[in-house]
Amino acid sequence: MSKYDSLWKHIQRSREDGLDLTFDEIAAIAGLPIDHSFLNYKKELLDYGYEVGKISLKNKTVHFKKLREAGNLVSRARR
Cα gap 72→41, rounded to integer Å: 21
pTM: 0.81
The string of DSSP letters for the chain reads --TTHHHHHHHHHH--SEEEEEHHHHHHHHTS---TTHHHHGGGGGGGTEEEEEEETTTTEEEEEEPPP-TT---GGG-
Handedness of CA 72, 76, 65, 53 (dihedral sign): negative
Q: What φ, ψ does residue 24 adopt, rounded to 5°?
A: -65, -40
pLDDT of the residue at 72: 45
The pLDDT tens digits of the residues spanning 52-75 come to: 999 999 999 999 999 987 544 444
